[in-house]
Amino acid sequence: MDTWPALLVLQALLLPLMADTAAPVLRFVAVGDWGGVPNAPFHTAREMANAKEITRTVQILGADFILSLGDNFYFTGVQDANDKRFQETFEDVFSDRSLRNVPWYVLAGNHDHLGNVSAQIAYSKISKRWNFPSPFYRLRFKIPRTNVSVAIFMLDTVTICGNSDDFLSQQPERPRDLDLARTQLSWLKKQLAAAKEDYVLVAGHYPVWSIAEHGPTRCLVKQLRPLLSTYRVTAYLCGHDHNLQYLQDENGVGYVLSGAGNFMDPSTRHQRKVPNGYLRFHYGAEDSLGGFAYVEMSPKEMSVTYIEASGKSLFKTSLPRRPRP
């Protein structure tokens, strides 16, 4: 037998074994504010570039799921579960074969609330990869081949804080339904208090901290931030500001802002509204095609890599697994 074919046979036999012995990792993409435009072709060059790079990332590195951080359909959400925007801005854009079986876990942003959020929830019954069971919900995962567990709490921050006019005050003023806001916060508090998982993530559309155009969300700084610290949450993931940021507070809570799926905004106008030392990374170059965060969770740590839609790795950081109580 020739050496070359023999080597190929050996490689074919070894590859599955190597895959099995690879370090156990749970992987996902976190992308926000990717929701196209309401006029033809219903997507932007940046959304297409992100879809292409997410595809490449999934093909090369793998992903167990995609976390959608809101503003899924610009500028006024969708009208009903059969709205053509689902096809034009979502299915036709994230269309590569390698993405077909990767589930999306979805939450709503302020632009989604200008339309019909229940229609986005109902679309879960139409698309096998679109998962949006209710306005707020819990996800649980195990890192493959381990007992290391991950909880992700998906929030509707618009219900907690109110909607925000992007072009006027920038800040949500008050929730439309105070009871609904209180219900969600007390649900979260109860869930976090009981959470025994090795990693606990919370995700919402509005940022707690941001140096950019919208800045810190006062309502979340007041109502959500204390819960993240008290219950030793690993990280909070969000969008809303159209750039990429990583911040970390004195308690070690990571703040992953990934809002560059469709637009880029270079503003740093709220830099002084964020405590000194929190900001570790910011990228908002106007000529950039945007980007997303790629998260890998191992039994030891959670790593976050910010990837530009051009394929460039911009910044990488890691957060430790939570100590056992």
Does 111 show up as a binding residue in the annotation? no
179 marked as part of a ligand binding site: no
Order across the sheet with 137-142: list the strands: 137-142, 149-154, 199-203, 235-238, 254-258, 244-248, 279-283
43: annotated binding-site residue? no
- Kindly report the length of the chain: 325
Closest to 298 measured CA to CA, from 71, 141, 92, 105: 141
Contact 271, 292 (CB under 8 A): no
Closest to 159 measured CA to CA, from 137, 187, 178, 138: 178
**159 bridge partner residues:** none
Task: Work out whether strand 137-142 and strand 149-154 pair parallel, antiparallel, or are unpaired.
Answer: antiparallel
282 is in an annotated binding site: no
241 known member of a binding site:
no
Residue 33 token pair: 């504010």
Residue 292, C-beta contacts closer than 8 angstroms, at least 6 positions apart: 29, 30, 31, 50, 53, 54, 244, 258, 260, 261, 306, 307, 309
CB 255 within 8 A of CB 221: no
240 is in an annotated binding site: yes
71 assigned ligand-binding residue = yes
Binding-site positions: 33, 71, 74, 110, 205, 240, 242
Binding-site positions for Fe cation: 33, 71, 74, 110, 205, 240, 242
